[in-house]
């Protein structure tokens, strides 16, 4: 637990710098990099379907024995005022054959545009993190969203609403908690090849505040492939007693395939 860094972050920096000057276009402008962020508007979608698969994996042996895996799938459909999304993600890491990080995420989201700027949203998600003190967490939420910027080059949407979360603990206990949910999604198309993203989600209950953030830079290789550099922060101000830390961070480089 604590900071977890994928080992090819530093070697990949020269490649990312070279890609910034590439002459290709991004495969899709409607990516939702952080799977828990706000959902793209159907009015901004270029096609009725947008899908991506990302994979990052490293393995070191010799004086240091470690491995890490980060993979996710993101599928989005658009129809009139509606947007629908399904996603799944796995992150794991080990040092000297001992698991140091392991979490799983599944979820679905929907968005209905009331106008160009206003929308309603709903979401359901399930998360399992072996080292966060929970057996699993399941969240349902819905409410109102506002499209503040509709770019390119920049887009920004925010949303908020009530929800409920089921916390299942490692000792077998469980609790249902009412929560206040809010989310933010920001995209800046820095160039024809590079997109900066910032995603943020907050879940506030009477017990604790959970924040999940992803800062990302995605650079196109060609129409189908891209490289993504991402920095994730997962914060819980009052985790269960068997959680070692309040904050986890992950720095990762992944190859993204758009289809």
- Tracing tokens 């993204």 back to the chain, one arrives at 256
* Domain range enclosing 32: 3-258
Q: Give the CATH number for residue 216.
A: 2.40.160.40
Domain count for the chain, please give it. Answer: 1
Rounded to the nearest 5°, which phi and psi values hold at 17? -65, -40
Say which DSSP state 44 is in: G
Q: Is the pTM of this model over 0.85?
A: no
* 243-255 per-position pLDDT tens digit: 878 998 888 899 9
What confidence tier does 34 reach under pLDDT thresholds 50, 70, 90?
low
Smallest CA-to-CA distance from 85 within 139, 124, 115 is with: 124
Alpha-carbon 48 to chain mean position: 22
- Whole-number CA gyration radius for the chain: 18
pLDDT of residue 96: 78
* 88-131 per-position pLDDT tens digit: 999 888 887 788 778 899 999 999 999 999 999 999 999 998 77
């Amino acid at each position: 637990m604590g900071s977890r860094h994928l080992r090819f972050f530093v070697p990949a920096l020269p490649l990312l710098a070279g890609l910034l000057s590439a002459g290709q276009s991004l495969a899709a402008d409607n990516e939702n990099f952080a799977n828990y962020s706000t959902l793209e508007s159907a009015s901004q979608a270029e096609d009725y379907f947008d899908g991506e698969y990302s994979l990052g994996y490293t393995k070191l042996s010799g004086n240091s024995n470690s491995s890490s895996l980060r993979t996710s799938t993101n599928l989005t459909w658009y129809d009139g005022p509606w947007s629908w999304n399904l996603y799944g993600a796995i992150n794991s890491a080990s040092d000297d054959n001992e698991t140091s990080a392991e979490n799983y995420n599944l979820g679905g989201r929907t968005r209905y545009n009331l106008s160009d700027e206003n929308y309603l949203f709903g979401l359901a998600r399930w998360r399992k993190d072996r080292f966060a003190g929970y057996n699993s967490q399941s969240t349902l939420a819905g409410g109102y969203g506002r499209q503040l910027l509709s770019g390119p080059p920049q887009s920004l949407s925010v949303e908020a609403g009530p929800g409920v979360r089921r916390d299942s603990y490692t000792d077998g206990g469980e609790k249902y908690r009412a929560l206040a949910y809010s989310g933010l999604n920001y995209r800046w198309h820095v160039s024809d090849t590079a997109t900066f993203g910032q995603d943020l989600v907050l879940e506030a209950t009477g017990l604790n505040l959970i924040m999940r953030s992803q800062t990302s830079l995605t650079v196109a290789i060609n129409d189908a492939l891209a490289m993504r550099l991402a920095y994730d922060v997962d914060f819980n101000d009052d985790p269960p007693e068997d959680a070692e830390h309040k904050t986890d961070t992950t720095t990762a480089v992944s190859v993204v395939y758009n289809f």
